[in-house]
Amino acid sequence: LWSRTYPTPLVISPMGSCALVRPGADIAIASAAMARGIPYTLSTMATTGIERMARAVQGPLWFQFYVLKDFDFNRRLVRQAEEFGYSALVVTVDLQTGGKREKDLRNGISIPLRPSLRHVIEGIAHPGWSFRLLRG
């Protein structure tokens, strides 16, 4: 991180579940960033895995790491990011206690996600969304 020079003082922040909006969105966003030499930060909650992202794009990749309760899983994630050439580890510690996000509360979103009857009904009512989510 400190020994590298980047063309701009920008970095793409981590985003989870991009495939919910558009299949392949993680890789598309990372590819656009790489074309401009901008680092892309892959979220722990991304819909694209560490290895798949590293194989799909060439350029500066960072990995945003949530400290989860399973220490062995944490270690595997960090080792995998290192193995596939991620040049920075962005540590995020806010997941252990979820914030009070009014919009998420209204929409029944929780951490961890708890599927509900409402989610099933929405999935049936919007088969295109469901298909893209499953395909993503």
Distances (CA, A) of 70 to 20, 36, 66, 67: 26, 36, 11, 9
Claim to verify: residue 104 and residue 70 sit in the same structural domain? no
* Same domain as 64, residue 9: yes
Question: Does residue 97 carry a pLDDT above 70?
Answer: no
Q: Are residues 135 and 107 in the same domain?
A: yes
- Segments forming the whole domain that contains residue 88: 1-97
Q: Which pLDDT value is given to residue 75?
A: 95
23-58 residue pLDDT tens = 889 999 999 999 999 999 999 989 899 999 999 999
Q: 78 and 106: one domain? A: no
DSSP 51-119: HHHHHH--S-EEEEEE--S-HHHHHHHHHHHHHTT--EEEEE-GGGS----HHHHHTT--SS----HHH
Residues 27 and 49 both lie in one domain: yes
- The answer on 131 and 70 residing in a single domain is no
pTM: 0.72
Q: Report residue 6 as tokens.
A: 């980047």
Angle at 116 between CA 127 and CA 66, to 5 degrees: 95
Do 8 and 52 reside in the same domain of the chain?
Answer: yes
The verdict on 110 and 91 lying in the same domain is no
**Cα 59 to Cα 46, 76, 85, distances in angstroms:** 18, 22, 10
Give 62-84 pLDDT, tens digit per residue: 999 988 888 999 999 999 999 99
Count of structural domains within the chain: 2
Please say whether the dihedral angle defined by the alpha carbons of residues 40, 53, 19 and 71, taken in this order, is positive or negative.
negative
- Burial grade of 111 (CB within 10 A; 0-12, 13-18, 19 or more): middle
